[in-house]
Structure 1
Amino acid sequence: MAKPPSTGRVRLKDVATAAGVSPITVSRAFSSPHQLHPQTCQHVLEVAHAMGYLARPRQPSEPFVSTRRRVIGVLNPQLDNPFFHELTCLIGRLGETRHMDVLTMDSCNSPEQEKAAIDRLIACGVDGIILTFIASGTREQTACLERLARAGIAVVLLDREIEGPHHGGVYIDNLDCGYQAGCWMRRQPVERLLILSGPPDSRVTIGRVSGIREALAGSAISLEVHYGDFSMAPTERFLNERLGQLPLPDALIGINNQITLGILSAYRQARLPLPEHAGGPRLFCIDGITHAELLGMEISSIRHDLATMATQAMDLIEDALQSGSRRGTRQVVRGHLHLPSDAEQALP
Structure 2
Amino acid sequence: MTVTIKDIARKAGVSRTTVSRVLNDSGYVKDETRQRVLKVIKELNYTPSAIARSLSTNKSNTIGVIVPEINNPFFGEIIKGVGQVADEHNLNIILCNTDDDREKELKALKILKEQRIRGIIITPTYAEDQFNSEYLSTLENLGIPVVLLDGHVKYSNFSGIFIDHVKGAYDATKALIKAGHKKIAIINGRKNYKITVDRFKGYKKALNENNIFVEDKYVFYGDFEYESAYKITKHILKMNDRPTAVFVTSNMMILGSIKAFYEENINIPRDMAIIGFDKIDALNIIGMNISFVNGPTIEMGKVGMKMLIDNLDNKKSKEEIKRITLFPKLVLKGSEKFINNKCE
TM bracket (short chain): 0.7 to 0.9
Q: TM-score, normalised by structure 1?
A: 0.76
Report the equivalent of 1:247. 241
Q: Does 1:273 align with 2:266?
A: yes
Which of 208, 219, 226 is the equivalent residue of 2:211?
219
- In structure 2, the residue corresponding to 1:134 is in which secondary structure? coil
Report the equivalent of 1:308. 299
Q: Does 1:319 align with 2:310?
A: yes
Deviation, 1:189, is 2.3
Counterpart-to-counterpart distance in 1, 2:53 and 2:155:
31
Counterpart-to-counterpart distance in 1, 2:306 and 2:187:
34
Report the equivalent of 2:228. 234
Which of 235, 241, 259 is the equivalent residue of 2:253?
259
Report the equivalent of 1:123. 114
Kindly provide the amino acid, as one letter, of the partner of residue 292 in structure 2.
S
Judged with a 3 Å threshold, the aligned counterparts in structure 2 of structure 1 residues 315 and 325 are, in CA distance, closer, same or farther, namely farther
Greater Rg, structure 1 or structure 2?
Answer: 2
Counterpart-to-counterpart distance in 2, 1:98 and 1:143:
33
Q: Does 1:144 align with 2:135?
A: yes
Report the equivalent of 1:290. 281
Kindly provide the amino acid, as one letter, of the partner of residue 190 in structure 1.
H
Show CA shifts across 1:156-215 (max 9, x none).
100112234454000001111111112111112223211000112111111111111111
Show CA shifts across 1:291-330 (max 9, x none).
5333221122111222321222112211222224231211
Which of 66, 79, 82 is the equivalent residue of 1:91?
82
Show CA shifts across 1:278-298 (max 9, x none).
x32110112222253332211
- In structure 2, the residue corresponding to 1:331 is in which secondary structure? strand
- Contact 2:183 2:243 survives alignment (8 Å): yes
Judged with a 3 Å threshold, the aligned counterparts in structure 2 of structure 1 residues 142 and 152 are, in CA distance, closer, same or farther, namely same
Q: Does 1:52 align with 2:42?
A: no
Counterpart-to-counterpart distance in 1, 2:133 and 2:283:
37
- Contact 1:2 1:18 survives alignment (8 Å): no
Which of 130, 142, 145 is the equivalent residue of 1:154?
145
Kindly provide the amino acid, as one letter, of the partner of residue 130 in structure 1.
I
- Contact 1:157 1:166 survives alignment (8 Å): no
Q: Does 1:181 align with 2:172?
A: yes
Kindly provide the amino acid, as one letter, of the partner of residue 252 in structure 2.
Q
Which shows bigger deviation, 248-257 or 137-146? 137-146
- In structure 1, the residue corresponding to 2:281 is in which secondary structure? coil
Q: CA RMSD in A?
A: 2.6
- Contact 1:192 1:221 survives alignment (8 Å): no
Unaligned 5+ segments in structure 1 are 10-16, 20-46, 56-65, 342-348
Report the equivalent of 2:327. 334
Q: TM-score, normalised by structure 2?
A: 0.77
How many residues align structurally? 293
- Contact 1:53 1:68 survives alignment (8 Å): yes
Judged with a 3 Å threshold, the aligned counterparts in structure 2 of structure 1 residues 253 and 5 are, in CA distance, closer, same or farther, namely farther
Unaligned 5+ segments in structure 2 are 6-19, 26-45, 335-344
Show CA shifts across 1:93-143 (max 9, x none).
211111111111111122232222222112212111101012221455564
- Contact 2:207 2:213 survives alignment (8 Å): yes
Counterpart-to-counterpart distance in 1, 2:164 and 2:272:
27
Judged with a 3 Å threshold, the aligned counterparts in structure 2 of structure 1 residues 151 and 222 are, in CA distance, closer, same or farther, namely closer
Counterpart-to-counterpart distance in 2, 1:233 and 1:8:
51
Judged with a 3 Å threshold, the aligned counterparts in structure 2 of structure 1 residues 2 and 116 are, in CA distance, closer, same or farther, namely farther
Report the equivalent of 2:16. none
Higher RCO (C-alpha 8 Å, min separation 6): 2
Deviation, 1:260, is 1.0
